[in-house]
Amino acid sequence: MSERVTKGDAILAHYHHASRSACGIIMESFPDLFGDDGDVSVGIGWAGPVSTLCAALQVYSPEIQVSQIKTKFGSLRIYYAPRTKLPEPEMLTAIREFESISHEICELCGANAKTRRRNMWVVTCCDVCADTIGAT
């Protein structure tokens, strides 16, 4: 039995393709921050804010290496390890604040958003994107 592909699924596939390209650009822009094993996997709507955070981390916390930036339960998660010492408390606060505000930014387009459900997934999206992908 095959599953029916919905319009929302097709639109999400397009967004994911664009997101992979944007995530690749972020990793290429900050090679020292990610090293050889780092990974970025977020929606295109979060690409700009993630780039801004990466720039700040590279300048103000060169002592950390980011292993992964991803979406988990509809919010941003940043996983990192210290290279030589722990990051400054201000940078840890900035990371946590960024993770927190991700609940207010649409993963798909960057507009103001809220956390919703789409099938078994938790997503953060605006009203327009929620209607488009079938999130409630």
pLDDT at 80 over 80: yes
- Is residue 32 exposed (0-12), middle (13-18) or buried (19+ Cβ within 10 Å)? exposed
Band the pLDDT of 12: cuts 50, 70, 90: low
Q: Is-contact 79 66, C-beta < 8 A?
A: yes
| pLDDT tens-digit readout, 24-78 | 889 999 998 998 889 999 988 999 999 999 998 888 788 788 999 999 999 999 9
Distance CA 55, CA 129 (A): 28
Q: Say which residue the tokens 């946590």 belong to.
A: 96
What is the pLDDT at residue 112?
A: 96
